[in-house]
Structure 1
Amino acid sequence: MVIPISDLFKLQPSAPVTLDGHEEESVNLELQASSSTSVGVVQGTTLLPNGNPVPFATVQVYTSQGVPYAHVNSNPQGIYIIPNVPVGSYLITASEPGYLTPVRIPLTVTQGRPTQVSITLQPDPAATTGAMFGIVRNITNNEPVNNALVSLFRTDGTTVTPIGTVTSNASGQYLFAELPSGTYFVQAVLPGYLSNQSAPVTIQSPEYVPLDINLTADPNANTGTVSGIVTDQANGVAIPNALVALYTLTAGVEQIIQITRTNQGGLYLFGDLPPGIYRVKATVQVNTG
């Protein structure tokens, strides 16, 4: 049976003592209580499910309230030791690139003796995939664009496949993760800006590829539209190919600025109209010649 050993007091040396022959010297020592009386040691191994060690894993200890307390790295054999942990209840887990972080394990540190905890890490199935990330910026002032809709597409040169859509954050950042090797491009859109599409970029997983994209303010963003249906008053039937004229009204004076025709459903549409007062007039004309 192994009996745990702990110091009640710190080892205290005296000053050098010189004896010159047959004489007596007095050496008194004042011992300082050892902190080891109220602390313990947490130790163990970071392992794969098959029992092989995971070297250089970060082992993190938290208080029972989940506050980070201390961390160390396991050695090449996967062994870790965290000394001088105050007696009490804690949580522990480990992390290493290429592995999933395990659920935190509860443990209790007891006075003057080691608490043994082995931590098993599962390989991350997405560890061999790549990622694309970047910033959406206003090309005019280089400022980040918030809430832009960023869509990711994969292409083989002939076929384009939608992959997903995210929204840029307040810093203009976006991220697409867990991407297999391939060629991708992104498209960014936001009301008030002209949509933009990046050039294709190739990812060789598991690399992480940066790809910024710029947006240009839409010069017609502060414009409106006027549209409607032209019908026959007698029967309410929509009239196709009707002439529709758009007038501006300035100090009571009318001026035609656009003319269009209705479609097969009797619909007309005038777009990109700046703020102002407008009037629409419609008629049907035929060539009698």
Structure 2
Amino acid sequence: MKYLKSSIIAIITLMAFVGSFFYTPATVADQEEGKSRIIVILDDGVSKKDIKDYVNKKGGKIKADFNIVNGLAVTLENDDIAGLKDLKGVKEVGPDVQVHASDIELDNSWGVKRIGAGTVHANNQGANINVAVIDTGIYHSHSDLNANYRGGYDFVNNDSDPLDDNGHGTHVAGIIAAEDDNSGVVGVAPQASLYALKVLDASGSGYVSNIILALDWCCTNGEIDVINMSLGAAVDAAGFHDAVIRAYEAGIVIVAAAGNSGKYNGKGDSIEYPARYEEVIAVGAVDSSDIRAYFSSTGPLLELAAPGVSILSCVPGGYGYKSGTSMASPYVAGTAALILAGNPGISPTSLRQLLRDTADELGPAGFDTLYGYGLVDADEAVVPAAAGSISGMVSNGTQGIGGATVTTGAKTVTSNADGSYAITGLAPGDYTVTASAEGYGSATDNAAVVSGQSTTLDFTLSPLVVENGSISGIVRNESSAGIPGVTVSCNGGTTLTGPDGSYNMPNVSPGNYTLTASADGYVDSPVAITVYAAQNTIANFVLTAVTEEQQIIVNNISYSTSGGKTGTAHLMITPLVTDSIGQAVPNALVSIEVKLNGSIYYTGSATTGTAGTVLFKLAAAPSGVYSTVVKNVQATGYVWYRDTTEYSYTK
């Protein structure tokens, strides 16, 4: 079995290059002198009450309460730890291990192509497969990750936003599922769903107890299919293996970095936990010449090899290069997602055997301790199933509806004149299909697509009978006199007030709207309204004349540069918004237009901070002459003085 027990304190390493990520047991940031953070595992069925009572009585703290295994993480005075072992039902007591992180950057990108994943993408990109990244979190606003990000949890800060403030987890996530959008990088499974489980903080520090909580989360949330752990421990830790077993028994494929503690000569057994566990696929690293990376751990428990040297992937704010078995592991996790997408019923055991059988041998025939069963080969492992289709009729019950829209996932078709439709090229699996047409209510149904067959799914749509409403009212000034010529706008439509300040907007569809009255010399006045079918909604306005104090201006636009070897890679544009007496205006929405050498290069909007400034960052901006013009400024209670001064800068 791939399981060893030891009483030695565990040392864990995130596998992002030799010595780059590294766990130590003693110097724990939130421990007080004379206290230790430990994990207590109980026999199955034993209540945790006695443990909690003991910890509270001794002045300790409960740091984590596990469900996946019967246990807790606690802090206690060192002199009180021995007393825990004497309590009834205590199975194991061991240290909670701290994690430290530090990245490096290298060059070259080649991994996805090398394992053949790109050739699979035409028919399979891992859609509907959920992959959990147990790491430092994910920078989920990244343009190559935001469409695939589905959420997760931050076990460091105990909140639901597992934002990566280190970079390691984002790099791993990009290898797994960076979007195929013709920019940046592409992941092994570019349509897989990503879940971030943050167990390490901004400095790369965390605890084994956080990893156990993350495994617990995977078993109870999100219907996780694959787990990637680019981290490891030199020896076993209390409760760690039990938690991994529970996740594996829940049908989750678990992949982990083998470790960066290999010897130059490739001798010895240096595979680390959790990769050592029987339930986990242990992944070593090779370079672009298919040669074992000198740091990659070796031994009889190594299962597969994957690219792990000079890997380009996502990092917060852009892209970066990293090396390590941390980078190799997500190539296998992404390939597992592709296999599951093409063969949803395959078991973790069968999937692992398929990966072994299809791997490219790099060493002696069969298994060896340097490369395991060989280099993961997505092209061979993912056998595309014959596509199926969904077809049928869209009708109103008596006749077909031509021009109806029928949608499932990313595929949309329009029905023919007789109401018939067909959605082809669908991978086998379950689909949710929606049909809609103008003047009709939409309808949604489910269909199961079988390889090489067409599934029939008909829709009957009911006509919509909706009477429009109207909006009317009067716009007055502060003296209650009607104001003529005021523009009243709603949902893209506008009308003007008459001589007495009254207005009328007929034929408005029922719904919720923001109605705005605006006129020169007055502060715009928006109001939220609801329009009901066959009813008139009255909305009156009182406009306030603009005072000098209510005027805001863009006082200045400054330029600066940052990034790159010379500090000039990125261009920073910073407008300053003030009122008429020079006071900074926060929460103002500023819209700008930037031209490069006379042609529009960038447009965007952002909100000012407390200093009245807002930063627009143009990443990797080319050299040339830049000119910036403010197109609009919006702030509650203020009116923008429409100054279109052009601010120039030569980069």
TM-score, normalised to structure 1, is 0.37
TM-score, normalised to structure 2, is 0.18
Identify which of structures 1 and 2 has the higher relative contact order when contacts are C-alpha pairs closer than 8 Å and 6+ apart: 1
